[in-house]
Amino acid sequence: MLPAPVTAGRRLMLYSWLRGFLRAFRAIAAGPQIVEQLEAINLKFNKAFNKHDGSAVGALYVANAVHVTPVGTFSGREGIEGHMTNLFQRHNPHLVLTSQPLAGVESALSLR
């Protein structure tokens, strides 16, 4: 079954799910080098996502990664690439992901 198009209601549901997911993790202290590396990966992910490039998003995952979403679980880099490509082809082409510097989890992600 294919996911439904992104509507305002689905966007709110996804945002709420992301906030809940992020709250499940406890913040840990990270040195400046780790923060810099995470922000670089975050920027690559945002660029690939906002270009709707499923292959580039998938390439950021390790080969045996498991990506769990509200619509299913996708295993391996190829499975994640396929899911992301499908997501981009079937949903609102204006969906944009932005992030803020890793100062706080609450303001880290935003879907518009």
**What digits encode the pLDDT tens for the residues 42-86?**
889 889 988 999 999 999 999 999 998 888 899 999 999 999 998
Q: Give the span between the Cα atoms of 93 and 91, in whole angstroms.
A: 6
Instruction: Write out the two tokens for 98.
Output: 């932005």
Task: Give one word for 95, left, alpha or beta, with left for phi > 0 and alpha for psi -120 to 50.
Answer: beta
- Residue 105 reports pLDDT greater than 50: no
In sequence order, the β-bridge partners of residue 66 are 75
Instruction: Write out the two tokens for 29.
Output: 């202290």
What Cα–Cα distance (Å) separates residue 59 from each residue in 49, 91, 103? 12, 21, 26
Instruction: Write out the two tokens for 11.
Output: 């966007």
Whether CATH 3.10.450 fits 8-111: yes
Tell which residue, 59, 71, 82, 99, has the closest CA to residue 6: 71
pLDDT band at 27 (very low <50, low <70, confident <90, very high): low
